[in-house]
Amino acid sequence: MSEQGRVINYGDAGVEALREEMRRDETIVYIGQGIGARGGNFRQTRGLWKEFGDHRLRDTGICELGATGVAIGAAMAGTRTVIDEVFLDFALEAITQIVQQAANISYMSNGKIKAPVVIRGAMGAVRNAGAHHSHTFYNWFANTPGLKVVLPSNPYDLKGLFKTALRDPGPVAVIEHKSLYNTKCVVPEEEYLIPFGDARIVREGTDLTIIAMSRMVDLASKAAAALDFEGISAEVIDPRTIVPLDRQKITASIKKTGRLVVIDESPSSCSFAAELLAIAAEDCFDELQVPPRRINSLPVPNPFSPVLENQMIPTVERIVAEIHSMMKSAKRKA
């Protein structure tokens, strides 16, 4: 990302990506709850309804199964559709449409039918919203062949990846984090696209590799900065997309540093962190100096209590403590 230029927030970056692509491609339509005149629960479509009207932004009732089915059917019929599940949690109401239909139709029709649909949703623990509105199960989508999965961690990446998703010939899940909507960074006014499968090295390091997704990238960066004061050089990598995954850049970093820590807001069992540890074992076993570690949320429903939720999800302090433990373990082994 550029060091100088126009600064906008995450929410505005998503709106800008949509506006540019909807002006460029008249086949793009947007479907979801409250995304019309109101501009969305997170202001993720503000101003678009006024410009494009009801025929391009269609407000729906609270029925994710029906709305997602309509969006996927419309995509099969020749439009390019965005279905906004608003809270990612409620994409589960429509999971059969996403997994059974959108992800499979191109293969099952021998390429004769495409489903260029973007499944958009906001995930994650924020403002103690409780167990129904705080899930981070992006790894479930990554387990679905035929579906690409995008996890933008900052406004620059959201705009560039969203625009790429809106031009993709198949279904793409663009999964945002609710806590990021007001975060800011430099986003160019000129057009740019970010290709899928191109991880970003957030900061370079030599002593260990930290891989983090979505909101956890910011926590990983803060932990790396704290460790730097102690003489521990951490390389931080943001995969940006987990399907496709930039396996080459990830394994090159692990081989360079010999240590791996993965920060993941999902619980550890069957998580994407587990997948990254498996990749490290398969591709970097001889270079690993100590067993890799994953730092996940605790395996409990998201508590409504602020104190309990803060204990459940990874924190900068917990990340630093885990890395201290790893580095001491490495010294004992040496």
From first to last of its 334 residues, the chain has per-residue pLDDT tens of 556 799 999 999 999 999 999 999 999 999 999 999 999 999 999 999 999 999 999 999 999 999 999 999 999 999 999 999 999 999 999 999 999 999 999 999 999 999 999 999 999 988 788 888 889 999 999 999 999 999 999 999 999 999 999 999 999 999 999 999 999 999 999 999 999 999 999 999 999 999 999 999 999 999 999 999 999 999 999 999 999 999 999 999 999 999 999 999 999 999 999 999 999 999 999 999 999 999 999 999 988 898 988 899 999 999 999 999 999 876 655 5
3-state secondary structure at position 172: strand
pLDDT at 125: 87
Max Cα separation, the chain?
A: 66
pLDDT at 129: 83
Work out the burial of residue 87: count CB atoms within 10 Å of its CB; fewer than 13 is exposed, 13-18 middle, 19 or more buried: buried
Domain 7-186 class, CATH top level: alpha beta
Location of each CATH 3.40.50.920 domain in the chain: 200-333
- How do 7-9 and 184-186 pair as beta strands? antiparallel
pLDDT at 330: 63
Location of each CATH 3.40.50.970 domain in the chain: 7-186
pLDDT at 128: 81
Alpha helix segments (H runs only) across the chain: 10-24, 48-52, 64-76, 95-96, 105-108, 138-142, 155-165, 216-228, 247-257, 272-284, 306-312, 316-333
Residue the block writes with tokens 């495409």: 114
Write down the architecture of domain 200-333 according to CATH.
3-Layer(aba) Sandwich (3.40)
State yes or no: is 133 an active-site residue: yes
List the Cα angle 123/124/126 in 5-degree steps: 125
| Distance from C-alpha of 197 to C-alpha of 247, rounded to nearest angstrom | 8
pLDDT at 163: 98
Selected catalytic residue, list 133, 135, 177, 324: 133
